[in-house]
Amino acid sequence: MPRPRKIIGYLVALMAALAQVAAQAVPVTAAPGERPSVYRGRGFDSCQAPPLTTLNAWGAATSYGAVGVYYAGRGRACPHQRYLSHRWLTGARDLGWRVLPVYVGSQSPCVRAASKRGNPIGYYPWDQGEEEGLDAVRSADDLGIAAGSPLYLDMEAYDYGDEECGGTTLDFVRSWSGTVARHGYIPGFYSSAESGVRHMELARRDGLSDLPEVVWFARWKVPASTDSERVLSAAAWQPHRRIHQYAGNVTETHGGRKLTIDRNAIDAPVAIIH
């Protein structure tokens, strides 16, 4: 083979190999075109994903139709999920339940809860947000949560008014959200209404990019409403982009099955389970 043709052949082979490596780095479900369904109604989340027998009993006895599951992240209060698996997710789907996947990663350096201070965002929040965003995507894909699904980042209440800490936290959230979006998932965000969600609203008003596309705000002891949150502009995160956690740490028993839960009013996208 003449030398120029030989060099071209090497380059073609190298480009093909690089393309194969890049393709392997993308989750197998990250194909465009699939759109999530929107659920409007009541839901709950609990630290441990409950057994399917409990979901079956509750589905027959309550108006709850969605369940939040803490599927991944180093900051989870319940990292060892006894029941959560692809089989559990398909079982929940087949019982008629919608799923809200929650990722609890690194927490703000000025997080208020002492129990959440063991996994702080570090000195390179943008890089860390990208790394944990990839972990959120890969973990979802491993469980059969398809691209097009929302993934909700849990960021517990923090002092967003602290300029340095607030900036670090916002950089992490934006990087995580942008990474999740680039891989075909919908970035969501859970926090208290008066800290993280207010912070996101201020960032939205400032015109920043890579913000979460769905907000899940915690404000307890008020009527359940996705539309009446006072820190959010009326048109912000609309339509079908809000969840209101209106009560927490309550115990309910239905069909002989007891759970400690947080209660939610939902008007938002839910997971696509393959």
What pLDDT score does 3 carry?
40
Phi and psi at 176, nearest 5°, equal: -60, -45
pTM > 0.75: yes or no: yes
Strands 242-254 and 257-269 turn out to be: antiparallel
In the prediction, which pLDDT does 35 show? Answer: 82
d(Cα 211, Cα 191) in Å, to the nearest integer? 14
pLDDT at 34: 76
pLDDT score, position 36: 83
**DSSP output for 25-71:** HS-TT--TT--PPEEEEEEEE-SSPPPHHHHHHHHHHSSEEEEEEEE
Q: Which two tokens stand for residue 258?
A: 């007891």
- Residues of the chain where predicted confidence (pLDDT) is lower than 70: 1-33
Q: Could you read off the pLDDT of 193-203 as tens digits, one per residue? A: 999 999 999 99
**Residue 12 pLDDT:** 34
Model confidence pLDDT, tens digit, residues 167-188? 999 999 999 999 999 999 999 9
Q: Choose among 163, 203, 11: nearest CA to 215.
A: 203
